[in-house]
Chains A and B, each alone.
Chain A
Amino acid sequence: MNRCVLVMAMSFVFLAAGCSPKKESSAAKPTAFGVAIVESSGGKQFAETGALLPQPLVVQVNDEQGNGVSGALVEFAAPAGVSLDPAYALTDSSGQVTTNVSLADMAGRYHIAASTFDKSHKKVEVKIEEIALGYQQRLGRRLNEQYCDRCHNPESTVERVSNFDNLEVKPHPFAEGDTLNNMSDSDLNAIITYGGAAINKSALMPAWGNTLSKADIQALIAYIRAVSDPPSRAAGPFYENK
């Protein structure tokens, strides 16, 4: 049994080693090379585990002047279970490549690498982070939308006017990892349950302990940890391409 697996694994490695460069060169041959690759849009999105990200991921290959290079080959690499459609492509007329990303089945942060080669065949790479939310974080996200977002999110939309600017003491947006990562779970729990005044912060933050259940508050904390930037250690593992 073991040997069988070993043989299969080795033959797969050989096959992969033998096939992949060939496939690349035949399917997409770069006609141009850039010097840098940058993320245009689609980074730091949230989706539930296993689901398609709401927006596609767009990267751009630039030349020395920072202008887009058309016809450069961009390859995406992602941890196991993440699907990329397409996994590689040539940049379009504005120097961009667009790919649709579905995250894998585990909650956590996923690093997707987009790379291209410059003229001297040196690899340049940009890493893009996407976040898969598990059940608890998803529940937290919904509670955030219902109760917290109106004040904690400074962005207004047509349907939802933000109250952020109206507040004398500004609330912390949940992505503000520099501040929120330094607060322990029990501090966050206290401020949500008993209000800002309970830990000598602004009384504009009301107490939610009689409105939300303990599980709801845990879910909110899990959500805050999941979206913080820089990432919080409590948010779980990173998934990198090995």
Chain B
Amino acid sequence: MKKNLTSLWQKFFGDSVRAFGVVGLIFLASMAIAPSKNFFSEWRHYQRAYLRTIRNRSDANTLERHFQGGIQQIWLPALDVVDRCTTCHVGLKEASMTDVATQPFRKHPVIPHNLDQFGCTICHRGQGAATNVAEAHNSTLAWEQPILPAKYIESSCGQCHRGALPGTPQLNLGRSLLARQGCVHCHTVKLPEGSTMKAIDDPPSLSHIADKTTREWIFAWLKDPQAYASTATMPNFQLSDENARDISAFLIANSTPVTDDTLKVSVKPSSDPAAGASLYGESFCASCHAVQNAAGNIVGGDVGPELTRIGNKVKPEWLQGWIRNPRIYDSGTAMPHYRFTDAQVATLSGFLLAKTDSDFLSKVHLDPATSEQIAHGKRLVSDYGCASCHEIAGIKKPENFAPELSHIGSKPITQLIFLAGMKHTLPDYIAGKIKQPRAFSPGLKMPQYTFTPAQIDALTTALLSLNERSYTLSASLAVPAVTESDYQPAGKAGKLMSDLACFSCHRINGHGSTMAPDLTWEGSSVQREWLAQFLKNPGTLRPALIRRMPRFNLSDSEINELTDYIMTVYQNPNIDRDSMPLSGYPPGEVELGKQLFYGKYSCQGCHIVDTKTDKGYIGPTLTHIGSRLTAPWTYQWMKNPQSLRPGTMEPNRAMSDEDARALTAFLMSQTGGKQSPVAPKAARKPSPRQEVATK
């Protein structure tokens, strides 16, 4: 053996010439490894495959001319981007490569940004500098950033775009869920622009809960909120019977009565279901409240709580007080003060109290609470952080109750604990936590939500957008959100408007809901008589809508107050109400307007002027438009509807002044057979032509 080795040694390194030759060969061979590794590298393989793919295409010459071999790179020092993705993704910018199904050669789908300006990893994550597939896309030991699955891609838009974008519905939904489903009551989310995300839901105060409901109902609700109302926002804390018993004991014992005589006024609830249903319908309760119908479908809005089993929940005297004036129990409620008569209160309360499920509380039997139970209940209320959402007398809202979620989109994977069988990526971790928080550890306090898979994806998308880059981005790239203004109307009318909760449906000066029309320019838009009449008895303007303005039984002085305020304050500075008359237009101009209406602009597709012939069902019915709108508003609306109401569906037709004028003349003549009230005064020649600034 040893002899063999010695002779082998002698053979190769016996003399200096031999040794030199052999060592030289070894060096040569090892030096050849580098170029051959390069030759066989993955990216060269893809570039050769690309050239083979394009060879037989009709535009092969163009594509070959565009092709650049070797490692390609998008380098953007300002964004900290070094992306070599285009080395293999060769056809990304080739317009004709849309029909190629094989990756990595397909053209990039159309997006609003230029690839050369932003690179690839800003949106897709992954490792830009890598030149092989695994390192670029996957999480290997060396890299923390795997490629972002396509379903979360909108999170990348959210790094710069802090507000809602039309092209990012999932991100918008996720952000609104964070604010609406109570997440940010417990978790602090500091936004990149420095502010803290605010919750927009309004969990009820529990300080007077005993006025409203029974301990049995609280127990059943705590055990399973969705069993009472499938749309309930409150999550399931998976409490034991004992814990639910003790918390309900504490809440009832802790409750103090609301002292106000109006609450005590009680009438006998009526048992006329037909009258109740029709009052419920007329009052448009369903615009905000939902009820589950016999088929199991939830019908109605989601502004207020679901009412399917309301009779199981509320005490009759509380319900009557609430219907009479909800602001006495909760001064900040989104519910309007309807000014119902005693008879109406009786009808509506009778109708609502009949909405019960006889099984719902039948199994709940609670013995009177002991002081130990109440004390234990109080401890549990602190432990579970109930006061993070609800106002509870004597319990302070806890600070930083749950982990802060700012920067969650960049949390290192090494800091995460995954469940068995889970993919080890950050998106999977976040989605898993939202889906089943207690699965990660039985001791966790985070409750179980009933999110759909789409909602979980949306929430995950919104959270992933809170990554390091979004906080460190140069300010010039950030697109800030449009913030909700805190506009409040002043004076007596302002008080009346908050009493009627106008902002629960309408938006004025950037504040309020978008359920009903924006009233910022209402004073320029409508005629005073019409507005007063409408507030007295709101009629149907848009037949296709199911949500309409309810009737509030307003007194004449209240109507005057509101009308005066709206007509004076909500004026568009570019519209002079007196610049065009309501009537007195030459018949020729009215006739021209009619022809334009039915011909060139075919307005009857969406609107009705003549109920016998027109069927358009999208826009408001125009049969009485001449007694509703002002002429200058109508004229400006013809010229550019979006300048008056951004986002309105009516297309901007870029009308000439003559067309807009003729149509205004025609529409102003539509008074439903009534004479226009200011006809004589308006007979003067309508000139000079008013020029309304178009924005």
Contacts and interface: CB of A to CB of B under 8 A. Distances in A.
A150 B617 CA distance: 9
Contacts of B618: 150-151, 163
Interface in A198-238: 202-204, 206-211, 215, 218-219, 222, 233, 236-238
Contacts, number: 113
B651 interface: yes
B170 to A, nearest CB: 7
A166 B616 contact: yes
A12 interface: no
Given A142-B169, A211-B651, A218-B110, A163 B40 contact: no
Contacts of A43: none
A211 B149 contact: no
A206 B110 contact: no
A136 B98 CA distance: 13
B688 interface: no
Contacts of A215: 112
Contact of A203 (B99, B151, B601, B617): B601
Given A1-B40, A49-B151, A237-B99, A204 B602 contact: yes
Nearest to B132: A1
Counting chain A CB atoms within 10 Å of each CB, which of B98, B151, B600 scores highest?
B151
Contact of B109 (A135, A207, A208): A135
Interface string A149-182: 0110000001111010011000000000000000
Bin the interface of chain B by size. 35 or more
A236 B166 CA distance: 23
Given A136-B111, A215-B112, A48 B601 contact: no
B150 interface: yes
Given A163-B618, A203-B602, A207-B653, A108 B101 contact: yes
A204 B602 CA distance: 5
A136 B109 contact: yes
B649 A51 contact: no
B184 to A, nearest CB: 25
B167 interface: yes
B388 to A, nearest CB: 31
Contacts of B457: 51-52
B346 to A, nearest CB: 30
Interface string A26-49: 000000000000000000000011
Nearest to A239: B101
Nearest to B547: A159
Contacts of B170: 48
A150 B653 CA distance: 19
B121 to A, nearest CB: 16
A76 B606 CA distance: 46
A139 interface: yes
Contacts of A52: 453-454, 457
Nearest to A142: B166
B267 interface: no
Nearest to B37: A1
A79 to B, nearest CB: 9
Contacts of A49: 150-151, 153
Interface in B590-621: 599-602, 605-606, 615-618
Contacts of A218: 110
Contact of B642 (A138, A211, A222): A211
Contacts of B642: 211
Contact of B110 (A163, A202, A222): A222
Interface of A: 1-2, 48-52, 54, 102, 104-108, 134-136, 138-139, 142-143, 146-147, 150-151, 158-161, 163, 166-167, 197, 202-204, 206-211, 215, 218-219, 222, 233, 236-239
Identify the 7 closest CB pairs spanning chains A and B, nearest first: A50-B150, A50-B151, A166-B615, A105-B150, A237-B101, A134-B109, A210-B652
